[in-house]
Each structure stands twice: as structure tokens, then as C-alpha cells.
Structure 1
């Protein structure tokens, strides 16, 4: 089996030509009913999912972006597809770096993890949203999910598959973060990916943290990143990079990669692309504005040339605070959250607490206009 030894240098990737991260939502089927689920997942698979052959054609296109393209198979629960191992093997044979985000269910057995490792999976990303079984299982809506996830994490270590832990940040989970950090270390994870809630799917019913609290959490995460044995990255909170730059007073010292070489500062449409279970091409799974379908269009052409993707790669088109912020080219704000709140993916990210000197407009939530 052909397996790329290393990926491309992340600092050399031209994100106008290729995404660093390509996510394919292989299914929306899942046995869990997580409070934050972007996909509104249900137990049954959608009848119009991309077929095995269509999926292989998609992976062929992903290869056309360039050597060592990183592909994340997500869901729903990817294990709901019986052809998952076949797809992993095929992508690996094409020279893609195949990674996986399965759900913590009874289907994620040590034998399954071993099989996926043998098929070529380069990383297993598991979600932990509480530092205890009770906290995690309550958030995930399934008793036993915590124990199954931890079992799978240990199986990944036994199989030699690098482990990533994903955590959702919202009002319900914020106090759990220190305990989750300790668990990430105990499980020998290589990366902690901390996702700040975007109100899409079932996540619309959850309460986000305030901008001020998000700022404190991001500052704390920079401290964690300096001390931990694992890497730290944020999802839908690119102002983590701005916080790190301000903290260290030297942009060259800011964190610039995670354990798989992924650059920070990547946002929806700029270094990131998403293909839905039915083939729609989105800038992100949290920004469901379509630029076409892989059944009708070239994924490579749509990423490089569509008006939607091109606008997201031009921070000078952003409006509000993000449009005048001196950090817009290294941060860019969450385009997904801007879209969820305003319907405009170029609007300002309402979670960011920073107020640029040149900005004269509405203040972030909780801030007085004369601050």
C-alpha cells in the first residue's frame, strides 16, 4: 500500500490553489443525538449519499489538489458506512493523508480501530466534551459514550494511530476544559482541537460563551500550548492566533502548526473546504452556502474559482470589526459564525472581543460603547 511519508510543508501551501484541510462528510447517519450536532444526525443513512464509486471519484479529485492532500472523513458517524475501510484504503493508495472522526459508539471497537490503522488512517479524531463520564454522556445524549471513546483512544495508541481529541466550547462545557486538558494528556493525544460553538443544526439550542469569556479561554489555551505535550488548535475561533500574537508580542513566536502540520489561521474557504454527504461543496460544514456539487462540477475548480470561495480568501472584503482589524490577514474571524448570525459570510465574527482602534460601530456583546 502506498502511503505518503509526510505531507506538504504547511507554510508553502498556497491556499488560493488548494485547501490544507478537505473534509468529506461521508454520511449524516449516527447513533448519537449530541446537543451540538451540526448535521442534525439521525440513525438512518440518506438515500442520496455519494456512492462508493462517486466517493472514489471525489478522492481522485482531491489528489488533483497536490501531493499529500489531507482528507478528513467525517459525519454523522463514518462507521455507519460499510464501505469505510475500502474508501480509506483507496484514498491512501492515491497518496492522500486520510484521517477519520468517528463517533464514540459501540461500533468503535479496538478491532475496528486496528483495521482502520491497517487500511492507512493517519489520525483518529475522537470527541470528548466532559472531563467525567456523566458530563460527557449528558452532552452526547448517550450513556456509555465516554467509556467507549476512551476505550477507542487507548486502542488507537495500541494500533500506533495518532490520536486527536476534539472538544466543543459552549456555556455547558466551558468549566470542563481543565479536566479535559488533563485527559488529553493522559491519553497521549498529539493534538487537542477546541471547537467554539457555531449555532447551526442542533447547536442552535445551546448557549455560546460570551466574547469576553472566549477571550479568557483563548488566552488560557495559549498557556496550555506552551506547556503541554500535545499541540493545541482552535476551530471556528481563528482569533486564537491574534490572542497568541498579542500575548507573545512577536508574531514569529505565535503557534503556526499542529501535530499534523496544519497551519493556524485557516478559515472556511481559505485553506478549508467541505463536501457534504450528498456532494454539495461548502467552505465549511458550519457554513452551508453551496458553491456547487461534485456530481456536476469540479471540486478543484469550484475551490479555486468560485466567487464564494474567492471572497472568503480576501479579508479586505470583510465588514464590521473584522474589516478594519489589523489582524484580519492572520485571523480573519469565523466566517461560519458570521454567516450563522447575519446571513453574510463576510460580516464580523460576533464572538471576538477585540475592538480595533479604527473601528467605530456596535461593540461586542457585554461591552459598553464607551469602553
Structure 2
């Protein structure tokens, strides 16, 4: 037992600098649904052609004006898709957002458009970061998931080029039955290629993802513990894995007591494979990257290719449209967003959970499985108040 006091929650889990009821930390815009890939999990069910109803250039610039209207510090603005490079005006839009003072990131697909020229142009236009998806440690595994041969090599080349150009690179990995036993190898790849951040996306069964086999809650728990372990040697986070924040608090409490977490066989297998790969050897991070306390509608907002405003791209309930009503008003006053920011409205075990104010479960997953965005996250293994020895120390 160490005499060092338990770190305050504010150091273990970050909160945005401004109240999330007032402004989001992150705005994601689906620039287009056009994409030549056929990814097994795609929430957008992307296709080859751009929609005639997607926001045109003038409407896209108006959207960025609406984001800037939240005031400084502006939300981080991510242009995703589909494949954003399917828009011929992408570079112009990045430059416009940058001119407003927005921090702009781009999330392209691993397609033939992921070229040095295109990456150079978006960097020169002001983009500060790039996020790419890696769902397998080898070409065979990744390309099978993405539905097109050659995607792995294109992604790896684009990743290396982006780093050479000075762009920060985040790597996203969909945690599904397909990638489950490859996660340690993917982690080793991410560390070797020096990504800024590795994000484990815990599958939401929506779009094409509804056809994929889900993990059990216990497997999800083991994956979250493995991501926590990886955080000692590289920066890690989760998408739609809000219970990672609970794991961080519990693991810190256990470490302060000199105890180990209780994990399952999947965690043991992933840890053994990681050890065999030397993942945890060498330089360790001086400070862990604390997860950010944001979730659907609470610090996070998604704008579709047609301007529909939803709490998340994985929670397709529209609160309104930016062509009809300013994003600031939608985010601050819509009943849907207000309900998602009130943890007292959560139902089931999420409503009873001692971590509901810092976790709250995936509202997207609750909606996808039950049709109720305030229902309990069906893929969370934690039973409220049943593991007192793993509760945080007094803060």
C-alpha cells in the first residue's frame, strides 16, 4: 500500500474547458457518403456516388460559420465521410475552416485518393491531424474487413506520408469479432509506426455493423483493460466505449492499493500475445493520456452529409437541420440533446450505476439495440455497486 494519495478524478479523466451544455468539444461533419470501399461495419452504408442532397460548398461554409458561433475556444472540427477526398472542394473547405480559426482534422478512407499530393494540399490548407482506420495487422485481415484488396497498403503508405508531412495521425480500430484476437498485433503495428493516438471503436450495431457478431460484455471488459494496459506505452482512447473511463478510475484505485484487476481469459490471451511481440518493452509514457469525458450529445455533435444534426453518427436521431436552424441553438436547446446531458434520466442499470456521471454508457449502442437512447448500455459487464474493492478511493 503506497502513501501516495489517489489522484483526483480531474487528473484521471479530462473534462472540456467549457461546460458541455454550452458548447461541444468535438463537431464531426460527414462531408459525403461517397466511398469506394465496402466496409463490413459501415454505419453510413456508403456507396460509390455522391448524393445530390449533401451540403454544397456554400452550405458547408455556413456550417463552419455556425461552429465558430460557439465562440473560442472553438470545438475541434473533423471532416469525415464516406471518403472526404471524394469532394473536389475538400481543400477549399479545410482552408475556409482554418481561416475562421477552427482546428480542422480530416478522416479519409484508405483509397487511391490517399495520395501525397492530396495530403500535402490539406496540410497546406491548414489541417492539423488525420485519422485513419486499421482493422487488421496484415493486408489479408484488414482488406477482408474493408471489402477491397489493396486498402491496407494504401492506408499504411498514407499514414507514413502524413507523418512525414507533419500531420498528427490517429489510428482507429473497430473492435469486433473479426479483429478481436488480432488486437495485440494491431497495437504493436500502431506503436511501431508511431501514431499520435490509438482509438478502439467498440462496435455499435447500426448500418452494416448490425450484421456483425458482437462481443460479449465480459469480452468488452477485457478489451478495455487491454487498452488500458497499452496506455502505458502509447496513447489510447475509445470510441463508443465510455466505460473505459470507469476502467481508468478503477485501475488507478487498485494500483494505489497495490492490487491487480480481475480480468477474463481474453485479456490473458491478448496480454500474452502482446508480451510475445514485445509491446510493453522499451520506453514507457511518463504520463498516461486521460480519457475525455464527452459522449453523444454531451460535448459531441454530428452533422450528416445533408445537414441533419444528431448526437453521434452512430445515434441516428435527428434534432434538426443546420439548413433550418443554427447548430448552436440545436445543440443547446433541443430536447434530445438536453435529455442526453441529464444522467438522472438514464434507465436500467446505467441509471443506477455509481459511475453514471463519468461514464453513462453508450447511448448509441443503447439506441441500436433497444430503440431507447436512455436505456442501459447492453454490452457493459459492470454491475453497479457489486465490486466495492474496485471503487475509487475518496477524492
Match of 2:173 in 1: 167
> Matched residues in 2 for 1:11 and 1:142: separation?
38
1:341 paired with 2:369, answer yes
Q: What SS does structure 2 have at the residue aligned with 1:226?
A: coil
> Matched residues in 1 for 2:380 and 2:307: separation?
32
Match of 1:279 in 2: 307
- 1:250: Cα distance to partner? 7.7
Match of 2:45 in 1: 40
> Which of residues 21, 27, 34 is equivalent to 1:22?
27
Greater Rg over alpha carbons, structure: 2
CA separation of 1:216 and 1:317: change in aligned 2, threshold 3 A: same
1:221 paired with 2:249, answer no
CA separation of 1:46 and 1:69: change in aligned 2, threshold 3 A: same
Match of 2:116 in 1: 110
* Contact 2:16–2:293 (CA under 8 A) maintained in structure 1: no
> Which of residues 76, 83, 87 is equivalent to 1:81?
87
Question: TM-score, structure 2 length as denominator?
Answer: 0.84
> Matched residues in 2 for 1:33 and 1:44: separation?
13
> Matched residues in 2 for 1:14 and 1:233: separation?
21
Match of 1:318 in 2: 346
- 1:69: Cα distance to partner? 2.0
> Matched residues in 1 for 2:47 and 2:207: separation?
12
Match of 2:278 in 1: none
Match of 1:55 in 2: 60
Please list every run of 5 or more consecutive structure 2 residues that lacks an aligned counterpart in the other structure.
1-13, 257-284, 387-395
> Which of residues 295, 299, 303 is equivalent to 1:267?
295
CA separation of 1:10 and 1:86: change in aligned 2, threshold 3 A: farther
- Cα deviation 1:266-302 (Å, max 9, x = unaligned): 1100010000000000000000001000010111001
Q: What SS does structure 1 have at the residue aligned with 2:130?
A: strand
Match of 1:241 in 2: 245
Equivalent residue runs for 1:118-137 within 5 Å: 118-137=124-143
Q: Which runs of 4+ in 1 moved over 6 A?
A: none
- Cα deviation 1:136-169 (Å, max 9, x = unaligned): 0000001000000000001001100011100000
* Contact 2:363–2:377 (CA under 8 A) maintained in structure 1: yes
> Which of residues 339, 355, 359 is equivalent to 2:383?
355
Which deviates more from structure 2 when the two are superposed, residues 15-24 or residues 263-272? 263-272
- 1:60: Cα distance to partner? 0.4
Match of 1:184 in 2: 190
Two-structure CA RMSD over aligned residues (Å): 1.9
- Cα deviation 1:98-124 (Å, max 9, x = unaligned): 001100001111111111111111110
1:31 paired with 2:59, answer no
* Contact 1:265–1:332 (CA under 8 A) maintained in structure 2: no
> Matched residues in 1 for 2:192 and 2:178: separation?
23
Match of 1:299 in 2: 327
CA separation of 1:258 and 1:279: change in aligned 2, threshold 3 A: farther
> Matched residues in 2 for 1:213 and 1:337: separation?
16
- Cα deviation 1:290-329 (Å, max 9, x = unaligned): 1000010111001001110010001110000100100000
Please list every run of 5 or more consecutive structure 1 residues that lacks an aligned counterpart in the other structure.
1-8, 359-371
* Contact 1:233–1:258 (CA under 8 A) maintained in structure 2: no
Q: What SS does structure 2 have at the residue aligned with 1:118?
A: helix
> Which of residues 277, 280, 288 is equivalent to 2:316?
288
CA separation of 1:114 and 1:251: change in aligned 2, threshold 3 A: farther
* Contact 1:11–1:263 (CA under 8 A) maintained in structure 2: no
1:65 paired with 2:93, answer no
Match of 1:91 in 2: 97
* Contact 2:168–2:196 (CA under 8 A) maintained in structure 1: yes
* Contact 1:110–1:151 (CA under 8 A) maintained in structure 2: no
- 1:251: Cα distance to partner? 11
- 1:183: Cα distance to partner? 1.0
> Matched residues in 2 for 1:124 and 1:304: separation?
28
> Matched residues in 2 for 1:48 and 1:57: separation?
16
CA separation of 1:267 and 1:351: change in aligned 2, threshold 3 A: same
- Cα deviation 1:192-239 (Å, max 9, x = unaligned): 0110000111111101111000001101111110222xx111000100
> Which of residues 132, 144, 147 is equivalent to 1:138?
144
* Contact 1:71–1:96 (CA under 8 A) maintained in structure 2: yes
